[in-house]
Amino acid sequence: MPVKESQLSELEKEISSLKFWDDPAHAQQVSKSFAGLRQQVDEWHQLEQKIKDASELASMDDETLRSDLVEEITSLEAELDKRSFSAMLSGSYDSGDALLAIHAGAGGTDSQDWAAMIMRMYLRWAEQHGYQTDILDLTEGEEAGIKSTTISVNGKYAYGYLRSEKGVHRLVRLSPFDSAHRRHTSFALVEILPQVAFDSPEVQIDPADLKIDVFRSSGAGGQNVQKNATAIRITHIPSGIVVTCQNERSQSQNREFAMRILRARLLEIKKAEKEEEIAVLRGEYTKAEWGSQIRSYVIHPYQMVKDHRTEHETGNTQMVLDGGLDEFMEAYLQKGGSLVKRS
């Protein structure tokens, strides 16, 4: 807490400077950081006061107050557990919004169906936690499922929680698409990206580096078919990154969302390059390959979900597929949140 209060004091001094708004982009970023830090400090002070009040209540040694004291202590323990967990979400982007991208891997129709199952799992998880979700882009599979999707997940600590899900997810089950009903293994890649503010100094995009194409959105037919060209495809020429957005009916909305995705991907490249450089200097660098799954979901011949980084597992596969991911996220964060994937 003293560290956060010191940081808050430094930000207050910066904000009170006469030249603070000379750089509007920087000023907005600092103001946002100040507001978030102020909220954290105030919440800890409130908790500190509750503990003092409970201590005074206990010191009265009044038997008639026992039930009230037990109730208050139980509430405080739950609050402390919650805050201790939130303290692990202290990364630069942990408190912000996230972009979730899912890509079907090897396995044909089975993997495309698996990618759709994963999308449902994360949408259920987000709904259970009160996060707002928007499907920005979705490509359906030929027979079933999806080939890929990009989803915006908005809410406090969305990125902090979801970053534990980045990697390859493997499913083992009896295939509903195999006439012989044999066991199949399917793969899907999950990407988690932090959403970057439009005016963030960390990602600078030169409009001259962009190739923008407009096309008709592909849909399931009926009223959803776009009669006008509203979908957007943006190619960032220097990096070769291509992003699309075709969910919104407005071309301007699609363009805004596509730029949001592009900024997130450019930031991810920047972060990855820096982490790789540090790892090489430390002699720890190992290239992450597609085949190194982070988690396995087994439906047949037995029921199990196991995270290969933390060894955390459960036999309640359906609970997890219905959005029950918290125990896996917590196990990952409690072990440091940056564990190397195992094959």
pLDDT, tens digit (0-9, with 9 covering 90-100), for 296-328: 999 988 999 999 999 999 999 999 999 999 999
The answer to whether residues 146 and 62 belong to one domain is no
Count of structural domains within the chain: 3
Residues 6 or more apart whose CB falls under 8 angstroms from that of 145 comprise 104, 109, 111, 112, 113, 114, 115, 116, 117
pLDDT at 62 over 60: yes
Which residues lie across from 185 on neighbouring strands?
Answer: 172
Please report, for the domain that includes residue 10, its CATH number. Answer: 1.20.58.410
Strands 293-298 and 167-174: parallel
Q: Of 122, 198, 199, nearest to 158 (Cα)?
A: 122
Asked if residue 228 belongs to a domain, the reply is: yes
Asked if residue 264 belongs to a domain, the reply is: yes
Please report, for the domain that includes residue 191, its CATH number. Answer: 3.30.70.1660
pLDDT at 214 over 60: yes
Q: Of 191, 334, 338, nearest to 275 (Cα)?
A: 338
The answer to whether residues 268 and 306 belong to one domain is no
Greater model confidence, 56 or 99:
99
Asked if residue 93 belongs to a domain, the reply is: no
CA atoms within 13 A on the CB side of 110: 19
The answer to whether residues 167 and 310 belong to one domain is yes
pLDDT at 226 over 50: no
In percent, the amount of the chain with pLDDT more than 70 equals 86
The answer to whether residues 72 and 113 belong to one domain is no
Asked if residue 200 belongs to a domain, the reply is: no
Q: Give the Cα separation of 128 and 329 in Å (integer).
A: 15
Q: Give the Cα separation of 49 and 52 in Å (integer).
A: 5
Q: Which amino acid is at 21?
A: W
pLDDT band at 182 (very low <50, low <70, confident <90, very high): confident
Range of the domain at 113: 98-195+301-334
The answer to whether residues 190 and 211 belong to one domain is no
- Tokens of residue 222, six digits: 């009926």
- What is the model's pLDDT at position 278? 64
Contact 247, 257 (CB under 8 A): yes
Q: Where are the alpha helices (DSSP H) in the chain?
A: 2-15, 24-59, 66-87, 108-128, 158-162, 251-282, 317-321, 326-334
The answer to whether residues 116 and 180 belong to one domain is yes
The answer to whether residues 59 and 190 belong to one domain is no
Q: What is the dihedral of CA 83, 87, 91, 95, to 10 degrees?
A: 10
pLDDT at 334 over 70: yes
The answer to whether residues 57 and 107 belong to one domain is no
Q: Give the Cα separation of 212 and 225 in Å (integer).
A: 22
- What is the model's pLDDT at position 1? 60
Average pLDDT of the chain, as a whole number? 83
127-167 pLDDT, tens digit each = 999 999 999 889 898 889 999 999 999 998 899 999 999 99
Please state whether the peptide bond connecting residue 194 to the residue before it is cis, i.e. omega within 30 degrees of 0.
Answer: no
pLDDT at 189 over 60: yes
The answer to whether residues 14 and 35 belong to one domain is yes
- In order of 160, 197, 296, 335, the CA distances from 311 in angstroms are 20, 36, 11, 11
Please give the model's pTM, rounded to 2 decimal places.
0.73
